[in-house]
Structure 1
Amino acid sequence: MAGQKNSLFDRLLQQGALRRWSRAARAAAHTDLPELRRQRAQARKLKHHLDTLIHVSDARLALPMIGNQAFPRPHDADWGWRPALWCGPLASPGESSVRSKTMLGREVTLFHDCAHSELTLRQLRNTREADLAAYGLRMDVFRFDGSYLSLAIDLPEEASRDLRRKHLIRLETIVESEKPLEIFARLNIKNGPNTEQIVRELPLHEEDIRVEFDLAYTKLNEKRVERMWLDLIFEGPQMNQVILRDLTFSRRPRAEL
């Protein structure tokens, strides 16, 4: 059965077959032609199966690992996270004519105010050597008659636990687009009846797309922090395809002066 470990008997058979083919290869220069012809036919059949195994395994093993939470983060980070959408397959990998408040997995929600939605969303498998995230998100926008388009990402409880004004929240992403556009990231922190907001524009022209939110510039009530979420706001998205290959967060304390 697939996935079962080889038994001792199977391993002995494999070792015996390997020794037999090794002897045949060493003796090929002197083997009788009828026997050599028979061995060549067997070897070609075996080579076909081995080539298939190598081809498929190389392709699968080259893909980023599903569930991977590894990514570069500051050495002093006390929390880091990649949302599930970029880690593993969704139950429904895509939708067309996407309505506002459509959820993708547990943490990501699309918002817009289009009268007629011409948006499609699709989770795709990352295959590039540089990718650490197993999956990406592709958004196709055709005619756009709304005034806003955003993705809201709910951060887990660990992000808000023991949150202080001395903290820096870092967002890193990999973005591809057919045409230039602007993307803004707005960090929202609900604390009691108030919600603190910090907005940063993503530097899409830079190789490393990274922004940091410095909580020292907020009026955060550290004793009443309830939750955090991030809005990715897309300006001028019409007739464009945008792919978010990765999206990660990390938190670290600011260096003491």
Structure 2
Amino acid sequence: MILQEDFIIKNGVKIPKLGLGTWQIPNGEEAYNSVKWALEAGYRHIDTAMAYGNEESVGKAIKDSGIAREEIFVTTKLPAEKKGHDIAHDCFKKSLEALGLDYIDLYLIHAPWPWDQMGIDCTEGNIESWKAFEEIYDSGKVKAIGISNFEPKHIEPILDMCKYVPMVNQIRFHIGDRQEEVVDYCNKKDILITAYSPLATGRILANKEIVDMAAKYKVTEAQLCIRYCLQKDMVVIPKSTKKERIISNTKVDFVIDDEDMRVLDMM
């Protein structure tokens, strides 16, 4: 079963292949219930971020689940606009406190630039943030460190100075938007890819080719899209606040044949 399958990050840490994304889920009952239902359904990987504003509810649901902490993989992120050594340390401490955890499994730089200034050069700030990440990693407070939304041009300056190569790059990835250059680069550097928005926030679910292929495999369109990413050897973190969809998104223990994967690749 997919919920019992892991990838191995380059430092030997196991990361569940399927996780629950919590982007755009507000703090409070909605975030709490989403995580609660996911854990009850067998998910053991929860992805959040300081920028989502829901770390408190995510952490409470994890604590209330009664599941041993070491069985749950928790990812959170340094806000995209927070660049620098000291501020990275400070934000990490605040995330730990908000989540109510003793450690975090994966900590990511959320983006190479602030979301309202996409494309600006923040190389120096990213390098200083990465130095803090390495110190946090050495402290044992985080099990793995990485980046998100980084392209090769953003990664190279970190590789030129780093003690630890980023272990994960979380990127937007779905049928029709595969960011092949980023994926190929990360594969060569042994940087594991996590695919967020595997359903393109729902935009591709009505595509006729996807609808027809899902019917062929007797699965939902969402299940087909999630399975596609899994067969690309990526961690996948679909987001939902609906209990039935959270459960349905785990029913991906089927295989898309090579010919159909090629068809999806061409879309």
TM-score range with shorter-chain normalisation?
Answer: under 0.3
Query: Which protein is richer in strand relative to its size?
Result: 1
Bigger-Rg structure (1/2): 1
Instruction: Return the TM-score normalized by structure 1.
Output: 0.23
- Return the structure number with greater relative CO, CA threshold 8 A, min gap 6: 1
Query: Which protein is richer in helix relative to its size?
Result: 2
